Amino acid sequence: MPFVTVELLEGRTMEQKRALAEKVTEAVEQTTGAPKERIHVFVKDIKKDEYAPSGIFVCDK
């Protein structure tokens, strides 16, 4: 039972997240042979004031 977590900066629409989950599910199904019904995709939004690559918050760029 594959579990896939995708973390993205906030701002994607629900439509985009649905499309992403569908494509990730298809890729995992084709690559691993796992049945679609057993694949779990988590899409997590990262707030721009909670992510600081190189020590600089994205909201400050």
pLDDT value of position 22? 99
Task: Kindly report, residue by residue over 16-38, the tens digit of the pLDDT.
Answer: 999 999 999 999 999 999 999 99
Say if residues 24 and 6 touch (Cβ distance below 8 Å).
Answer: yes
Find the CATH number of the domain harbouring 11.
3.30.429.10
User: What number of CA atoms fall less than 13 Å from residue 33's CA on the CB side?
Assistant: 0
Structural domain total, the chain? 1
Q: Which long-range contacts (CB under 8 A, 24 or more apart) does 13-20 make?
A: 17/43
Give the catalytic positions in this structure: 2
Domain that holds residue 56: 3-60
Kindly state the percentage of the chain with pLDDT values over 70: 100
